Structure 1
Amino acid sequence: MIGKLKSLLLVSTAMLSVNTMANTTYTIDPTHTSVIATWNHFGFSNPTAAFSDVSGSITYDADKPSASTISVSIPVKTVDTFVPKLTDEFMAEAYFDVSTYPTATFESTKVTSTGENTYDVAGRLTIKGTTKLVVFKATLNGKGPHPMTQKAAIGFDASTTIKRSDFGIDQYVPNVSDEVTLTITTEAQAN
């Protein structure tokens, strides 16, 4: 009888543990998260700019993806175009107007599974005080104990294409493309 009770207790504990892990909140690791913007320059090249010190959280429910949520905050002042003069321009009013709008944000409104480990993440992207609905195409790269900390961890890549003019950033359009691809790669660990 005691053996059966112990077995039942172990099974119940394991099931509770699995159910708890089904909907877990993870904190984005800024040291392993990159936001990259890519655009076309006069039809000749596709330059990039990187944003760092990204913060936020991911609540992921593998059993019910629609219950998942994502919140991301990007300090725009961290932008690096790899061309110092252009980076300085990006800080100014004609571009990001960093002194007035220091942060860009994304808040998910809907997560939809589109295949094995792929998702459409719809939400509100706010840049320079303007909010637009966008959809990121996301891929779950990995989920499990992080080898360095042993904490539950998760990793995603996601991308979307926006029109920068929709956010009041239209310098040199159309010679420098209006369309900008935003790509995010992130690791996050459970709280």
Structure 2
Amino acid sequence: MRKTILATLAAAGLATVAIGSLNAQGAPAPGAIDLAAVESGDYATDPSHSLVVWEVSHLGFNDYFGIFGDVEGTLSIDPANVEAAALDVTIPIAAVTVPSEGLKDHLLRPGKDGGDPDFFGPEPEAARFVSTAVHKTGDTTAHIMGDLTFNGVTKPVTIQAELSGMGTNAMSQKTTLGFHGTTTIKRSDWNLAWGIPFGISDEVELEISVAFEK
């Protein structure tokens, strides 16, 4: 997924405001990652600052984006044994955000004449990702394998994850770990195949940005 577009959606719209506010208060800017200072234990997401951005190709002409916000879940981690980490998060599908009200209506529309909806339907259950294994790939990177349950289907997914920030949150005063992650899934694996024959891509690129607080 293109980093410049994610930056436009997230950094320019949200982070600039937050950082500007902190600077106005004289708070220190986030520092460099110090792996030795990572605290072991149980963390919970900061839902207000945790999200999943999705991207699909629309008819082969251009890419379209949406956001699932308010991601909730837990992380248990020991920096001395990263591969024993455990992750369990839920993603509220019903709260999907897209630039077009017409598209949002289509995403959440019930099926015609009592049939299956084209996409999520009016009351979709939250998606859930539960890790099954973690493979460390670098000092700050890892592959997180797990099961993604969505639309009544559970399939394995691997997330390429990176520790993106750490320290004390200057606003909440909570010990915080930030992570970025990416993966690509095929929506047809979760019984969401509408539009594939005429050019809406099966592949969905996901960009994940999550803050965990202790």
Q: TM-score range by the shorter chain?
A: 0.7 to 0.9
Q: CA deviation at 1:23?
A: 2.7
Structure of larger gyration radius:
1
State yes or no: 1:173 paired with 2:196: yes
Q: Is residue 125–residue 150 contact of structure 2 (8 Å, CA) maintained in 1?
A: no
The whole-number CA distance in structure 2 between the counterparts of 1:142 and 1:59 is 17
Q: Which has the higher strand share?
A: 1
- Paired residues for 1:5-154 under 5 Å: 22-92=39-109, 93-99=117-123, 101-154=124-177
The whole-number CA distance in structure 1 between the counterparts of 2:203 and 2:151 is 16
The whole-number CA distance in structure 2 between the counterparts of 1:83 and 1:181 is 19
The whole-number CA distance in structure 2 between the counterparts of 1:97 and 1:133 is 23
**Per-residue CA distance 1:19-58 (angstroms, 9 max, x = gap):** 9x65321110111111111011111111111111211111
TM-score (norm 1): 0.84
The whole-number CA distance in structure 2 between the counterparts of 1:156 and 1:32 is 11
**Per-residue CA distance 1:153-186 (angstroms, 9 max, x = gap):** 1000111100000001011104011000111101
- Report the 3-state secondary structure (helix = DSSP H, G, I; strand = E; otherwise coil) of the residue aligned with 1:40: strand
- Aligned amino acid, residue 186 of structure 1: V
Match of 2:113 in 1: none
- Aligned amino acid, residue 189 of structure 1: E
Q: Which runs of 4+ in 1 moved over 4 A?
A: none
Q: Is residue 108–residue 121 contact of structure 1 (8 Å, CA) maintained in 2?
A: yes
The whole-number CA distance in structure 2 between the counterparts of 1:39 and 1:148 is 35
**Structure 1 vs Structure 2 CA RMSD:** 1.6
Identical positions, percent: 35
- Report the 3-state secondary structure (helix = DSSP H, G, I; strand = E; otherwise coil) of the residue aligned with 1:63: helix
- Aligned amino acid, residue 89 of structure 1: H
The whole-number CA distance in structure 1 between the counterparts of 2:186 and 2:177 is 29
Unaligned runs of 5+ in 2: 1-35, 110-116
TM-score (norm 2): 0.75
The whole-number CA distance in structure 2 between the counterparts of 1:170 and 1:64 is 40
The whole-number CA distance in structure 2 between the counterparts of 1:35 and 1:176 is 20
Q: Is residue 129–residue 149 contact of structure 2 (8 Å, CA) maintained in 1?
A: yes
- Aligned amino acid, residue 47 of structure 1: Y
- Aligned amino acid, residue 119 of structure 2: Y
Number of matched pairs: 170
- Report the 3-state secondary structure (helix = DSSP H, G, I; strand = E; otherwise coil) of the residue aligned with 1:115: coil
Q: Is residue 165–residue 177 contact of structure 2 (8 Å, CA) maintained in 1?
A: yes
- Aligned amino acid, residue 26 of structure 1: Y
The whole-number CA distance in structure 2 between the counterparts of 1:163 and 1:98 is 22
The whole-number CA distance in structure 1 between the counterparts of 2:94 and 2:171 is 30
Match of 1:8 in 2: none
The whole-number CA distance in structure 2 between the counterparts of 1:122 and 1:33 is 19
